A and B are shown apart, each in its own frame.
Chain A
């Protein structure tokens, strides 16, 4: 769901219905972002990188 663009995507609960010995019912929820949320999401995921500090070498390489 996340891969296809859903926001707040989650498996919220199992339903208790065993559909086979290996499978069970589950509930999933997701939302399509509104534009403002999309911007917030981009900002929150943006990692701010500080500019590298340039320090002049002292004479003698210290």
Chain B
């Protein structure tokens, strides 16, 4: 169980995360993460590079996912997909290629700078079946039973109320819909001097 945070701590965490990802949006993510990002990250996670040949360099470089949610199962032509925490839009735009013109994809991110970048990438790729908007995973701006698939990559760990975010995901999925998530998990106990620190949220 996560320790209860004060409103002030929650506000600090949200603001710091938003600031960090605003900086990531304005630059290349490489220096912000310990694991491979950009083209190397995509190659190591076995992304379908053949579908990404026309992706602009800035979109490829923006990849900082912790895994490959597409490896969890196929996305079919005509389906509706939501990408929670879409960042600069790489997974969203890849999903748009998979669903084709009969499908639709929505990308949502809490950082306005990321949404601007994602929209610019969608314009470059001339994909008409994609929309991007600013929003939070804990209060999804979509009706019930709206999507066939939800994808997310390295974002749920940043949500302050994970149960609420999961309930929202469940709400907007159609019956039979698939939730395909890549995220980070704790695999070793934190040393006592690090445990329970607010800084852990955004390091």
Question: Which residues on A are within 8 Å of B, measured CB to CB?
Answer: 1, 3-6, 11-12, 14-35, 37
A7 to B54 alpha-carbon distance, docked (Å) = 37
4 new A-B pairs (CB below 8 Å) besides A16-B44, A17-B45?
A22-B187, A22-B188, A22-B190, A28-B179
Whole-angstrom distance between the Cβ of A58 and the nearest chain B Cβ: 56
The reply to whether B163 and A3 form a contact with Cβ atoms under 8 Å apart is yes
Chain B residue nearest to A17 in the complex (CB): B35
Q: How many A-B residue pairs have CB under 8 A?
A: 108
The reply to whether A4 and B163 form a contact with Cβ atoms under 8 Å apart is yes
A26 to B35 alpha-carbon distance, docked (Å) = 13
The reply to whether B71 and A27 form a contact with Cβ atoms under 8 Å apart is yes
Does B18 lie at the interface of the complex (its beta carbon under 8 Å from any beta carbon of A)?
A: no
Does B123 lie at the interface of the complex (its beta carbon under 8 Å from any beta carbon of A)?
A: no
Does B81 lie at the interface of the complex (its beta carbon under 8 Å from any beta carbon of A)?
A: no
Q: Is the interface of B mostly helix, strand, loop or mixed?
A: mixed
A16 to B43 alpha-carbon distance, docked (Å) = 13
A51 to B163 alpha-carbon distance, docked (Å) = 39
Whole-angstrom distance between the Cβ of A38 and the nearest chain B Cβ: 9
List 21 A-B pairs, Cβ < 8 Å.
A4-B166, A4-B169, A5-B170, A15-B66, A17-B36, A18-B34, A19-B154, A20-B34, A22-B189, A25-B35, A25-B66, A25-B67, A25-B154, A27-B71, A27-B181, A28-B182, A29-B73, A31-B177, A32-B174, A33-B175, A33-B176
